[in-house]
Structure 1
Amino acid sequence: MKKLLLSLITTLLIFSCKEESKKEIVQEDPVAKIIEGIIVPEFPDKTFNIKDFGAVNDGKTDNTNAIKEAIKACTNTGGGKVIIPKGKYLTGPIHLKSNINLHLEEGAEVLFTKDKKAYLPVVHTSYEGVELMNYSPLIYAYKQKNIAVTGKGVFNGQAGKKNWWPWCGAERYGHKEGAPQQKDSINLPTLRKMNEAGTPVAERVFGEGHHLRPTFFEPFECENILVQGVTFTNAPFWVMHPIKSTNITVDGVTVSSHGPNNDGCDPEYSKNVYIKNCLFDTGDDCIAIKSGRNDDGRRVNIPSENIVVENCEMKDGHGGVVMGSEISAGVRNVYVRNCKMDSPNLERAIRIKTNTLRGGFVENVFVKNIEVGQVKEAFLKINTHYGIYANQEGNYMPSIKNIHIEDVKVDNGGKYGILIRGRKANPVKNITFKNVTIKKAKMPMLVEHAEPIQFTNTTINGAKY
C-alpha cells in the first residue's frame, strides 16, 4: 500500500512539474504573450444596412449622411455591424463610434469625395509625428472603444495627381511649379515652429487654406481595433495610422497605393499591435513604426511597443519594416517573422532611422524567418544620421540596441548586405545574425560606430562570418 501511494505521489509530482514547465515555456514566449493579451473587439449581433438609410450605390450620390445615420442608429442600440453592400458609394469622411463594425461586403467600393471642404471642420489629428488640427482622416475614430473595419470591399481614397498628391510638392505626383504645396511657409514650416515652441495642439489650426494631406484610416486614442480583409487604395497620405491606441489587429488587409508618403501601416505611440497576413504594395514604407517627432514626441512620451508582424508580403515600398524617422518617444519589443519581401523598388528590408534632433531609442527587435528576393540598398540599414544634410542635428543622442536577425535568406542584397551608421558617442549595441545568407550584395557590409556584430552560421556573398 505504501509503495502504491508513493508511486501515485511520484506520478502526480512528475505531471505537476510537466504542467509547470509548459506554463513556463508559454510565459517565456513574448510573442505568444503579446498576441494572447490583445483584445479583439466583438460586436452585438445586429446589422444596419446603409441602403435602409437612403444610400445609393451609383458612385455619384453623396452618401455621407446615410452612413452617418446608420452608424448613429447602430450606436443608439448598443452597437453592431453597419453594412455597406455591393456597389459604388461616394461619401465624405466616415467617423466611427464605439462598438461599431463597419463592414464592406464583397463588391462594395467606398469612394471618398474629392471635395476638400467635406473634410472640415478640422479634427485633432497628426502630421508626420506632430499633432495638430487638420482635415479629417477619411476614416476616423477619436477616443472610441471596440471598433472595426472588415469585409472584402475596397476603400478608394480617390487621391491622385489631381487630388491631394500634388500638395507633396513633387512634379511626378502632379505638382506644378508655383502651385501650393506642403513646404510653403504657412504649412510644414509653421507646424515645425509650433512643435519647437510647444504651442498647444488646439492652437495648431490648419485645414482650409493650408496644404497638409489627411491620413486614410486613423483611430486616435482608441482601444480594441480590428481591420480585417479590406483593401485600401489611392490614399492621400499614410494609410493606416493608429495613434495613441492599444490592442490593434490588422489581419488580411491589402494596401495597394503608390502615392507620396503612402506608408501601409504606421502605429504611433501605440501598444499591443498585431499585423498579420497582409499584402503591402506601397509608395513608401510598408510598415513604419513611429513615436512622434522631436519636441512633440518627447512631450507625449509614449513609446510604441509590443508589435508583432507576421505572415505578410511586402511587394513594393521604400522599406519592409521600418522604425522611425518620427521616433522621439522610442520603440521597443518588435517581432517580425515569417514574411516575404521582394521588389526592385524595395530599398531596405529592415530599417531603423533617427538622428540627434529626433533622438529616441530602438531596442529589442527580433527578425526571424524572412525571405527576401531583392532589395536596392541593404537588407538591414541602421542610420543615426538620418537627414543630416537637412539640418537634422540636435542634442538628443539616440540609442539603438538588441537587434537580432535569424533564419534569413536574401537572394539579391543590393548595394550593401548590412549598412550601419551609429554615433561615436553612443554606438549601436548588440546586433546578432544567426543562420543568415545574403547573396549578390555589391559590398558585404559597411559598419560605423557599432559594437562588433555577433555572427553565427552567416554568409554574405559566399564568405562566412
Structure 2
Amino acid sequence: MTPLPRRTFLKTSAAAAVGLPWIANEAQHAKASSATSKPSGVTIHAREMGATGDGKTKDTLALQQSLDRCSLLGGGEVILSTGEYLSGALQLHSNTTLRIEEGATLTGSPDMQDYPLAQVRWEGKFIKGYSAFINAVDASNIRITGPGRIIGSSAIVGRLEKGTRMRLPALIEFTNCRNVTVDNIFTKQFGMWSIHPLLSDNVTFRNVTIESGADGIDPDSCRNMVIDNCIFRTVDDCIAIKSGRGSEAYRMARPSENIHISNCTFTDARWACVSIGSEASGGVRNVVVEHCKILSAYTHGVYIKTRSGRGAFIEDITFRDIEVSGCREGFLRLNSLGSGLQDQDPVPGDEGLPQLRNLRFTDIRVNDVPQLLLATEIHPKKPLDGLVLANISGTCRKGMEIANATHVDIRNVTVTGFNGPLLATKNVTGKGLAGAVELPASALPKVPDEILPPATPYILK
C-alpha cells in the first residue's frame, strides 16, 4: 500500500481527532480499566529469589531474576514485601506486574555503573544516556502498583553527567510500550525527570504521588494516556507534554495525542504546573485537563510553548474546571516564537513555524494571579487559530494580552482586582473583543529571523 504523504496524513489524523474527542476519551478510560485488572499467572516473592530487603545489600540481581522469571513463565506478579530493596536499574517485561507492598521501598543505587547505557531521549533528541531506574522497552501489559514507595538515589543529582554530558537516569521510563499502568504508589526522584513515558500507547497513572527535583510526568510522543487523581510536588514542570525536537522528531511525526488529565493537584517550585512543549516537533493534539487544582507555580499555572524551527502543531487543547492560585507570573502563557533550545537541525522556512489551534479554557477560577493571560508571543505568519476563554472568575492583577490570533471567543470573564485594561490586543479577530485597547509596539516581542534551508537537506538516520 502506498503511504500517505506526510501533510495529508497529518491533516487526516487531525480531522479525526477533532471530530471524535469524546469517543477517544471514553476509549482511554475503557482501556485503563482493563489494564489495571489483576493479572493471572505466577506469583514470585523477591525474597524467595534471594533479595534481602535490608537497605544495604544490592538486590539488583535477585530483583531482575524475579522479573525475568515472571515473564518467562508467562507473566504474573513480582512482590516486594516489607523492607528496603536497594537496586540498580531494573527492566520490566511483558505481562508482568511489580507489586510493592505496604512498608516496602524500592531504592535506587547511588553508583552510576548500576545503570546501563542506552539510547534515550533528552530534551527532544535521542542521545546516549543512562537507563532509568525502572524501565521497560517494547513491552506490553505491564503494571507498577503499591501501596509502597519507589525512591531514586539522592546521590544522583542534575540532569546531565558532568564531562560526558550523558543523560542521567530517570526514575521510571517506558519506551515503545503498550497497556501500561502505574497506580496507588508513592514516587520520589531528585535531579532528573521523574516519570518519562516515550513512544507508548495506552498508559494510565492513577492515585500516584510524585515528588521530584525536576519534572513529574513527561508524556513524550505518547497516545491514549490517562493521568487521574495524582498529587504532584515538583521543582520543575509537574506535567510536560512533549513530542521531540527539530527535524529528527518532525520527520518521525509521532505526536502526543489523546491525553486525559483529571482530579490532580499541582505544586511547582521552578517552572509551570502543566506545560505543553517546548519540544513539540512531532505535534500535540487532543489533550483534556479537567477538575484539577493548581496550588503553586513559579511562573505560570499553564504554559503552552514552542518556537520557530519546531514545526508541527499544538491543537485541540481543553482546560476546564480548574482552580488556580499561588502563581508567580500568571495563569496562562502561550508562546510559539522562542521557547526552549533551538535545535541544531531546525525545520526551515514557513514549514518550521508551529501552529497553535483550538485552545479552550472554560470554568476557570483564579485567585490573585499576577496576570490572567499572556498570549503576545505568536508568529504573525501563523496566527493562533481558535481561542476560547469562557466562564473565568476570581481575582488578578493584570488582564489579558493577545496578539496575532483569529477566531477568538471571550465570554463571561468576570475577574476583578486588575489594573489597566481587562483586554489588550493586536491583530486579533473574533467575538467578545469589545472594549479592548490596542497593544503598543513595545509590548510585542521581536519576531525571530527566518530559518533558511540547510546546504544539505536533513535525512533521518
TM-score, normalising length from structure 1? 0.80
Alpha-carbon distance in 1 for matches of 2:261, 2:22: 19
CA RMSD of aligned residues (A): 2.2
Q: What is the alpha-carbon distance in structure 1 between the residues aligned to residue 21 and residue 338 of structure 2? A: 37
Question: Which whole-Å CA distance do the structure 1 matches of 2:287 and 2:342 have between them?
Answer: 29
* Cross-structure match for 2:204: 249
- Matching residue of 1:127: 122
Q: Does 1:141 align with 2:116?
A: no
SS in 1 for 2:197: coil
Residue 216 of structure 2 aligns to a residue whose secondary structure is: coil
Shift of 1:29: 5.5
Q: CA deviation at 1:437?
A: 1.2
The structure-2 alpha-carbon separation of the partners of 1:367 and 1:374, relative to structure 1 and needing over 3 Å to count, comes to same
Kindly indicate whether residue 295 of structure 2 is the aligned counterpart of residue 342 of structure 1: yes
Q: Which sections of structure 2, spanning at least 5 residues, go unmatched?
A: 1-19, 424-431, 433-461
Partners of 2:373 and 2:394 in 1: CA distance: 9
Single out whichever of 309-318 and 217-226 deviates more from structure 2: 309-318
Cα pair distance change 1:439/1:294, threshold 3 Å = same
C-alpha deviations, 1:312-335, integer Å up to 9, x for none? 000224222211011001000000
1:156 matches 2:111: no
Alignment match, 1:264: 216
Equivalent positions of 1:162-173 (< 5 A) are 162-165=155-158
Cα-to-partner distance string for 1:131-171 (whole Å, 9 max, x where unaligned): 13321111110101111110111111113xx5332x65xxx
More strand by share: 2
In the alignment, what sits opposite 1:22? Answer: none
**Aligned position for 1:385:** 337
Give the deviation of 1:391 after TM superposition. Answer: 8.8
> Please, what TM-score do these two structures have when normalized by structure 2?
0.80
The answer to whether the 8 Å contact 2:156/2:190 transfers is no
How far 1:80 sits from its partner (Å)?
A: 0.8
Between the aligned partners of 2:201 and 2:410, the Cα distance in structure 1 is: 35
Greater alpha carbon shift after TM alignment, 75-84 vs 28-37: 28-37
**Aligned amino acid, residue 108 of structure 1:** A
Q: 2:188 aligns with which of 211, 229, 233?
A: 233
* Contact 1:214/1:236 (<8 A) preserved: no
Structure 1: gaps of 5 or more residues: 1-25, 169-179, 185-208
Residue in 2 that maps onto 1:304: 256
1:29-50 Cα deviation digits (max 9, x unpaired): 6532432355525411532111
Deviation at 1:232, TM superposition (A): 1.4
Q: CA deviation at 1:111?
A: 1.2
Which digits, 9 at most, give the CA deviation of each residue in 1:281-313, with x for residues without a partner? 001111111100112211321111000000000
CA distance in 2, matches of 1:30, 1:74: 33
Q: Which one has the largest radius of gyration?
A: 1
1:108 is displaced (CA, Å) by 1.0
Quick one: which amino acid aligns to residue 86 of structure 1? T
Match of 2:411 in 1: 456
Counterpart residue identity of residue 233, structure 1: K
Partner of 1:193: none
Residues 1:50 and 1:358: Cα distance change in structure 2 (over 3 Å): same
2:28 maps to 1:34:
yes
Q: 2:146, 2:341 → 1: CA distance?
A: 45
Offset of 1:78 from its aligned partner?
A: 0.9
1:98 aligns with 2:94: yes
- The answer as to 2:323 corresponding to 1:358 is no
Which range moves more in the overlay, 396-405 or 311-320?
311-320
Distance 1:220 1:388 in 2: 23
**Which 10-residue stretch deviates more, 289-298 or 42-51?**
42-51
Between the aligned partners of 2:340 and 2:191, the Cα distance in structure 1 is 27
Say if 2:362 and 2:389, in contact at 8 Å, map to a contact too: yes
1:32 maps to a residue whose letter is E
2:170 counterpart (215, 220, 240): 215
Residue 358 (structure 2) pairs with residue 402 (structure 1): yes
AA aligned opposite 1:109 = T
Counterparts of 1:358 and 1:381 in 2: how far apart (Å)? Answer: 18
Identity over aligned pairs, percent:
32
For residues 59-70 of structure 1, the aligned pairs below 5 Å read 59-70=55-66
Letter in 2 for 1:213: L
Counterparts of 1:389 and 1:250 in 2: how far apart (Å)? 29
| Paired letter, 1:333 | N
**Counterpart for residue 114 of structure 1:** 110
* 1:342 counterpart letter in structure 2: L
Any idea what SS the aligned residue of 1:155 has?
strand
Structure 1 stretch displaced more, 378-387 or 246-255: 378-387
Q: Specify the alignment match of 1:431 in structure 2.
A: 387
Tell me the secondary structure at the aligned position of residue 356 of structure 2: strand
Q: 1:418 to 1:107 in 2, by over 3 A?
A: same
- Separation of aligned partners in 1, 2:27 and 2:138: 26
Distance 2:21 2:192 in 1: 39
The structure where helix makes up a greater share of residues is: 1
How big is each residue's C-alpha offset from its partner over 1:64-122, in whole Å with a ceiling of 9 and x where there is no partner? Answer: 001011112211221111011111111000100001101111111111111101112x2
